[in-house]
Structure 1
Amino acid sequence: MSATMLGNESALLALPVEIIEHLLLFCHPRDVARFSTTCRFSAHIVYPLPIYFFDDPRRSIGPARLAIADPCSYDWKAQLTRRIKAEHDAWTDTVDPELQSTTLETFASTLEEASPIASTSTVPPDSRNLEWLTNVLSKSDILNSLSLSENQFRDRLNACLALPTKDRLDAQTRREQRNRSRCFVYDVRNYTADTLWGPYLPNGEVNWKHVHAIVDVVASNLRELSPEDHIARPPTGFEMTRAFSAPGDFSGRDWAGVLGFDMCASWIIVIYSVGLHSLEASLLIVPYPPHSAFNFSGTDDRPRDATFFTEGFREATHLIELKLRLVPKEHMRIKFPLDDPPTRVHPSYEVLYLCGSITSRGMSIGQDVTVQGYVFMGVDCIPRWRLTSVHEGRPQWCSEGVQIGNVGSAIGVASTWTAIDHGDGDPVGPTWFWKID
């Protein structure tokens, strides 16, 4: 190192600490991380700075907050270094699966730690975490990489983005991707008692591959509909995954945002089905042979035949408006077959029981069809929504849903539906529902 460089370094470190901190705020986090390695004094200066480049993780909701219950245990510098390395690796043409998995895990934790939206904010401030994440992923193809056959972190990020990165791919590749998702969503072998008949892993955690497939099918189909179809679109993108971004008041016990600003709220449900009758006095109905034909297109240990979904194949689109309100547990008229009531895994999140009425847009539904269910926090601190339709006092169709983003996120809930008794010949299908103002 030359004498001139040594002199400049000494001059910089001779400045008051607050001046050095202010100067570093104009730098890219990557350069700040490099500066922290020059000496012990610079490392001490940089230690608290990540909070200026990213959201304060102590304000996050859900898994991230539970993981840092003790703020003193959060290693700010290590997180900054980890994210800058992930940024570099995402922009590098690497095929190392282990390296990619670590990078995707870093991105997923950054998404989790995004700041929530305060209920008093008329114009909520942008999330630094999400700004950085959006910028990095817009210049990377890591979410489209095929070097990882399955990766829960990648599937979670793709589900939260609602797959806009697929627009980089040609039409044929997009069709093949959607058909792979269809094969997973409509395969009845993916719905068992071990997975509670929903998008879960046997250990009780969310199966983000399943959620990703649900979002892929619904989002891809919605994109192909014309405005004249008058089918509502869910709010998508990373900003819509922030905690409390859905309309409503989250100040009371309603941590999941079931209600609006009054004692009731409206939700929109988009339901897709394969070869089914139109709705008849029930949330969903009886399968036609095409559904069975797909599920018997391969042996028990082989993939289903993807050619079932030809280029002209279309699911039936059902749009339902659901009005929900919270009710005491004693008002529940039905009991779910499994895990009822669910285990309360965290004292801050009580089980919320709800009831509602449904109205259809373009379909005939009986006047006495209602919906009952509850919202609870899962073992991985991801909210679960469990609903069932009730007709003439009898439960008929049930839904197992996962909050796509954080608690109370505007992007809504991805779920699967099936018959309440889960019979061998019963159909399954994807749904997506979200709260409207």
Structure 2
Amino acid sequence: MSRSFLTLPPEVVEQTLCNVRPMDVAAVSCTCKALFKLIYQNDSHIWRNLFLQLFDDPRRSGDKRLPYDWRGELQRRMRARNIILGQRNGQSIRGTSAHKHFSAIETIIRVAFSTGDFQTQLMSRSMDWVEDVMKNAHGAGYPLLSMMGTKTDDKLLIPFEYPISTSPSEPTSLRARLCVYSGLSYEDKEVILASPLNDNNLRVRSRALVYDLDRYNQASHWGPLSWDGRRTVDWQLLLAIVLVISLNVHDHVSYVEPCLHVFHPVGFPHHALTLPQVSRVEIRLTGPVSLGIGVVWCPSATIAPQVDTASRSTAIFQDADFVEGVHVLLLHLEFVGADLDAPESKLFPDRPLLHFSGSTLSEKGHAQGKVSGHVCMTPDREVQWTLQTDADDGPLWSSVGIQIGGVGSAMGVAGIWTRAIHGMEPPTGPFWTWRLD
């Protein structure tokens, strides 16, 4: 009489299933009632082992959900992967709704944020999985960043809505957020903007967003925040800031070459491949910090006021004479104290508003100016930095930025600098800071 798989001891069957791919386990469960019952029983042993094959242990990254839904979370992640890759059971699928596409992107982002603290020596299985999904999405001719099906040959489409709306759509914001996190490399592919207008120049479109002075007011806190006063991140603007800075640094600033790896592949928070050989940014919103930050400033002191914000004309940014000044400064920042009573601290009591002070440094390390500011959480759980630079005769510059990747991310802070006294004539421009030591 022939022997079946089920004649083996249950413990052996379980251990065997724990060492195969999740999709194969799902297929095996459909072969008979006995295996279905074994696989989908209340005991989470099989699903926990299947989960930990691919992802970091959530119990080590502070996930306090007990008991953890190993099966539900694994199924959710695999479903997102299949949607993004356009596959079901290895076969190409079409017609998936936009809602499911964006739910899948949200799941991928949650996976990235479920990893533990950034470590230079330890690899993250979760981040390896995320990067694999993104690479395969592009390699399969199914661009992850153009989920609505818009595709031009082998070019990625950056999801900018234009003209800019005071209420940008959630799908567009979500795609822009993923672009910021994933760290687009202009060296790998030609990147163009998905725009209803004819010109698809990446730098022109990015500049048009960044130097649109109408965006910076009290409601947006003079930074890359929403216009409605809710203090949530404007991801389209943040993406434009990152692109403007990275392209300018790539073109003009050879003396920061050792730091250029932050621009590509950059990446999601905490991943060991994000900043090799560089310590993570020590931003712990629960205690003192000591930061040494290198700052990339990309100001435009005379061009920005000429932007025609009414017609959204981009002609000035196509002019060959349009040149941005790129300045690399050094900052040394030290923790001053936490303000537990600040309104921002009430949002997340375990991550209160922190004050810091410091100085700008010359290339030789001599102090040149004083800096002060604070770090706090936004309502949408992002890390907001606010800095003020003082000259001898008073406040000079004000800067508001968002730490890309959240608490503990080594990717740095991107944002907008303006005059400290708002209401005066510009200049205004973007900046990006990152940790040097």
Pairwise same-fold verdict (TM > 0.5): yes
After TM superposition, the structure 1 = structure 2 runs for residues 219-238 of structure 1, keeping only pairs within 5 Å, are: 219-225=246-252, 227=254, 232-233=259-260, 235-236=262-263, 237=265
Aligned residues: 385
Q: Structure 1 residues 258 and 9, CA, compared in 2 at 3 Å: closer, same or farther? A: same
Q: Structure 1 residues 413 and 34, CA, compared in 2 at 3 Å: closer, same or farther? A: farther
- Of the three residues 231, 244, 247, the one matched with 1:217 is 244
Match of 1:358 in 2: 360
Contact persistence 1:243–1:408 (CA under 8 A)? no
Verify: 1:75 aligned to 2:69, yes or no: yes
Contact persistence 2:183–2:267 (CA under 8 A)? no
Aligned counterparts of 1:254 and 1:99: Cα–Cα separation in 2: 34
After TM superposition, the structure 1 = structure 2 runs for residues 254-293 of structure 1, keeping only pairs within 5 Å, are: 255=286, 258-259=289-290, 265-274=291-300, 276=301, 288=302, 290-293=303-306
Match of 1:181 in 2: 206
Match of 1:336 in 2: none
Amino acid across the alignment from 1:10: L
Q: Structure 1 residues 20 and 356, CA, compared in 2 at 3 Å: closer, same or farther? A: farther
Q: Structure 1 residues 219 and 256, CA, compared in 2 at 3 Å: closer, same or farther? A: farther
Verify: 1:195 aligned to 2:195, yes or no: no
* Secondary structure of 1:327 counterpart: strand
Aligned counterparts of 1:393 and 1:328: Cα–Cα separation in 2: 26
Query: Following TM superposition, by how much is the alpha carbon of 1:410 offset from its aligned partner in structure 2, in angstroms?
Result: 1.3
Match of 1:316 in 2: 325
Query: Following TM superposition, by how much is the alpha carbon of 1:9 offset from its aligned partner in structure 2, in angstroms?
Result: 4.7
Match of 2:101 in 1: 100
After TM superposition, the structure 1 = structure 2 runs for residues 54-133 of structure 1, keeping only pairs within 5 Å, are: 54-60=55-61, 65=63, 69-72=64-67, 74-92=68-86, 96-117=97-118, 124-133=121-130
- Of the three residues 2, 6, 12, the one matched with 1:10 is 6
Aligned counterparts of 2:338 and 2:286: Cα–Cα separation in 1: 17
Deviations 1:79-104 (A, max 9, x none): 21222122222222757422321121
* Secondary structure of 2:408 counterpart: coil
* Secondary structure of 1:223 counterpart: helix
Query: Following TM superposition, by how much is the alpha carbon of 1:162 offset from its aligned partner in structure 2, in angstroms?
Result: 2.1
Verify: 1:346 aligned to 2:373, yes or no: no
Aligned counterparts of 2:261 and 2:99: Cα–Cα separation in 1: 34
Gaps of 5+ in 1: 260-264, 277-287, 331-338
Verify: 1:306 aligned to 2:314, yes or no: yes
Aligned counterparts of 1:99 and 1:27: Cα–Cα separation in 2: 27
* Secondary structure of 1:155 counterpart: helix
* Secondary structure of 1:71 counterpart: coil
Amino acid across the alignment from 1:98: H
Q: Structure 1 residues 195 and 26, CA, compared in 2 at 3 Å: closer, same or farther? A: same
Contact persistence 1:234–1:411 (CA under 8 A)? no
Aligned counterparts of 1:227 and 1:344: Cα–Cα separation in 2: 44
When the two chains are superposed, the root-mean-square deviation of aligned CA atoms in Å is 3.5
Query: Following TM superposition, by how much is the alpha carbon of 1:421 offset from its aligned partner in structure 2, in angstroms?
Result: 2.6
Aligned counterparts of 1:81 and 1:238: Cα–Cα separation in 2: 28
Question: Identity over aligned residues, as a percent?
Answer: 27
In terms of mean alpha carbon deviation, does 198-207 or 101-110 score higher?
198-207
Query: Following TM superposition, by how much is the alpha carbon of 1:400 offset from its aligned partner in structure 2, in angstroms?
Result: 0.9
Amino acid across the alignment from 1:84: M
Verify: 1:143 aligned to 2:145, yes or no: yes
Contact persistence 2:361–2:368 (CA under 8 A)? no
Match of 2:24 in 1: 31
Q: TM-score, normalised by structure 2?
A: 0.76
Q: Structure 1 residues 418 and 347, CA, compared in 2 at 3 Å: closer, same or farther? A: same
Q: Structure 1 residues 213 and 23, CA, compared in 2 at 3 Å: closer, same or farther? A: farther
Q: Structure 1 residues 175 and 231, CA, compared in 2 at 3 Å: closer, same or farther? A: farther
Match of 1:163 in 2: 184
Amino acid across the alignment from 1:319: V
Amino acid across the alignment from 1:29: P
Q: TM-score, normalised by structure 1?
A: 0.76
Gaps of 5+ in 2: 87-92, 138-142, 151-158, 162-170
In terms of mean alpha carbon deviation, does 344-353 or 402-411 score higher?
344-353
* Secondary structure of 1:143 counterpart: coil
Query: Following TM superposition, by how much is the alpha carbon of 1:206 offset from its aligned partner in structure 2, in angstroms?
Result: 1.9
Query: Following TM superposition, by how much is the alpha carbon of 1:388 offset from its aligned partner in structure 2, in angstroms?
Result: 0.7
- Of the three residues 249, 269, 282, the one matched with 1:241 is 269
Query: Following TM superposition, by how much is the alpha carbon of 1:243 offset from its aligned partner in structure 2, in angstroms?
Result: 7.9
Contact persistence 1:248–1:257 (CA under 8 A)? no
* Secondary structure of 1:200 counterpart: coil
Deviations 1:344-403 (A, max 9, x none): 3222212221111102459xx996521000111222222111111011262221111111
Query: Following TM superposition, by how much is the alpha carbon of 1:235 offset from its aligned partner in structure 2, in angstroms?
Result: 2.4
Q: Structure 1 residues 384 and 318, CA, compared in 2 at 3 Å: closer, same or farther? A: same
- Of the three residues 38, 42, 45, the one matched with 1:41 is 38
Query: Following TM superposition, by how much is the alpha carbon of 1:229 offset from its aligned partner in structure 2, in angstroms?
Result: 7.1
Match of 1:279 in 2: none
Aligned counterparts of 1:234 and 1:401: Cα–Cα separation in 2: 20
